Amino acid sequence: MSEPVLKIAVAGVNGRMGRALVEAIARRTDCVLSGALEHDQSPALGMDAGFAVGLQTNVVVSSDVDAVVRNCDVLIDFSRTDSTLAHLSVCEQYAVNMVIGTTGFDDAGKARIAASAQKIGVVSAPNFSVGVNLTFALLQTAAKVLNEGYDIEIIEAHHRHKVDAPSGTALRMGEVIADTLGRDLKQCAVYGREGQTGARDPKTIGFATVRGGDIVGDHTALFAADGERVEITHKASSRATFANGAVRAAVWLRQCRQGLFDMQDVLGLK
């Protein structure tokens, strides 16, 4: 007997990722859009959730979080940290699972997510692209092999509207490398260089951030030694790759009543 169609609600449905998510859900037969959330000042309120992408979903954009969450199996949220944590509380109240693509949480925010995951199923990841998550696995191998004599730098580029820096994906790349090397990223990360910086500390992991235009997302981990360098790069050309991964995570999460997971779990890479 086949499982019932999964009911998915989307927070921030009128944003770039929200629109991509509406399209991604519409392409699948095992799930359906059941709710669409926006803030109470959004011009999209009262409109069909698919209006911006030329789809008729028969789901009206609403600011009523309780009503939307009550009517879904899982909420996908790519909004802002404060909104996501508020939505998380409502999901916990109604025992609704959640997929979190929002980045920029501080330690308290991360702890709040972990606490909620003791009661509901949560997939939280800095990047839902299948390719990026494969890249994380490749970085583990690279860091194990290039563990001596290589300077490590992470370069990322995004569109002009991105509000956090470095990106969550870049930070996760740094965490993967640092953990593999037995370092603490909080202690070895360098987020900017200016003026008389002195010689590079070989134990540091540097980050460089670019913001401009409509760049969807470029990430490169650079391992540079005397005589050679190795670059592992992922470039996204469409937000569809993130949306497809998030919907895949939502469908996977239906088997979990509680617990905190990431895309490595969803893809079976652990």
Contact at 8 Å (CB) between 154 and 208?
yes
Reading the block at residue 103, the tokens are 């980045």
Tell me if residue 162 is catalytic.
yes
Sign of the C-alpha dihedral computed for residues 48, 87, 80 and 76 taken in this order:
negative
Which member of 158, 159, 219, 270 is catalytic?
158
CA 138 to chain centre: 18
Alpha helices (runs of H) in the chain, residue ranges in sequence order: 16-26, 65-70, 81-93, 107-116, 130-145, 168-181, 185-188, 240-253, 263-266
203 catalytic per annotation: no
Burial grade of 160 (CB within 10 A; 0-12, 13-18, 19 or more): exposed
- Catalytic residue (one of 7, 119, 162, 235): 162
With CA atoms as reference, report the closest residue to 59 among 84, 107, 22, 29: 22
Look-up of token digits 């583990």: 140
Crossing angle for the helix pair 81-93 and 107-116, nearest 10 degrees?
20
Count Cβ atoms below 10 Å from residue 50 Cβ, excluding itself. 21
Interior/surface letters 216-249, b for 16+ CB within 10 angstroms, e for the rest: bbbbbbbbbeeeeeeebebebeebbbbbbbbbbb
Neighbours of 124 (CB within 10 A): 25
Residue positions annotated with a catalytic role: 158, 162
